[in-house]
Structure 1
């Protein structure tokens, strides 16, 4: 069974995961303890986020699509792909699910007949409040045991880690590029 158990009802709290300080890093990962910790943290974070989002009928990542639409207004689907560093197929599936749920609508782009504009619906405004509440709950689950100065330090370190990884990614040729 996973560290956190799926909730049957919106009112039940997530079960607390046992402390992970006893996690043993496999010998083959000893050269990368920070990378191993990031992997474990990211996996748990995604799992909890998925549990929380399921309560409002969303899949992971769909809340980010909606956040951008609420913040920026209607967007071309290709712009959403770029904003979220996604791929076209994944974005198409996400938009289709959101459209079927009544949270977005698609319309042709008036300037480019090949492009599609995605816009949030009026019905999505209630979802916005739920997503904001879920995001706050996820933040509390993530940082609840940290003092404000520790939260700021963690955020600073994560930004530096992200910058380092982004620089590495920018200098790494795609896997399908000729050698």
Structure 2
């Protein structure tokens, strides 16, 4: 691939990432959330209670980042932590009733953000985006993990 095409691809990905995160922050702020916290809430809604370390893996985040998010979400009453029944060193995180209610609002925001992001694209392109982006993520992950 030549530099002009490579630059166009890399710049498009970089700008989309920055602007998508900024738009997510603007949409999540009225809910009292910061980017990343919505992903944690959505993961717990999908999977149910999780050990904190597994949650970090599922989110692709470093454990200290997840610990900070959990502390903030716990302080706001959206999640609770408890020692894991099988391993007292591990912590289980689960949604509270308030957290489950907030997840429904997060889903609305998430849908709105996705609709804004893909506006103007053909339905066939939109249908292929998750798969194409997953392949791209896997390509980057494979190169990163091989170091």
Task: State the TM-score, normalizing by the size of structure 1.
Answer: 0.76
Q: Deviations over 1:35-92 (max 9, x none)?
A: 1110011000000001101110011111111111111111111111111111121111
Q: Does residue 1:44 correspond to 2:19, yes or no?
A: yes
Task: Determine which structure has greater relative contact order: mean sequence separation of CA pairs < 8 Å that are 6+ residues apart, divided by chain length.
Answer: 2
CA distance 1:111–1:170, change in 2 (3 Å): same
The residue aligned with 1:120 is 95
RMSD: 1.4
**Once the 2 structures are TM-superposed, how far is the Cα of residue 166 of structure 1 from its aligned partner?**
1.6
The two structures have a TM-score, normalised by structure 2, of 0.92
Distance in 2, matches of 1:115 and 1:134, equals: 32
> Distance between the aligned counterparts of 1:123 and 1:167, measured in 2?
38
Specify every segment of 5 or more residues in structure 1 that has no aligned partner in the other structure, as ranges: 1-28, 173-179
CA distance in 2, matches of 1:80, 1:135: 20
In 2, Cα distance between equivalents of 1:164 and 1:124: 34
1:124-179 Cα distance to aligned partner (Å, 9 max, x none): 1220110010000000110111121121233333222112112111212xxxxxxx
Structure with greater helix percent:
2
Mapped pair 1:146 → 2:82: no
| Alignment correspondent of 1:95 | 70
Match of 2:135 in 1: 160
Choose which of 44, 52, 61 in structure 2 pairs with 1:77: 52
Structure 1 CA distance, aligned partners of 2:52 and 2:129?
33
Q: Distance in 2 between matches of 1:64 and 1:156?
A: 19
Could you say which structure has the larger radius of gyration? 1
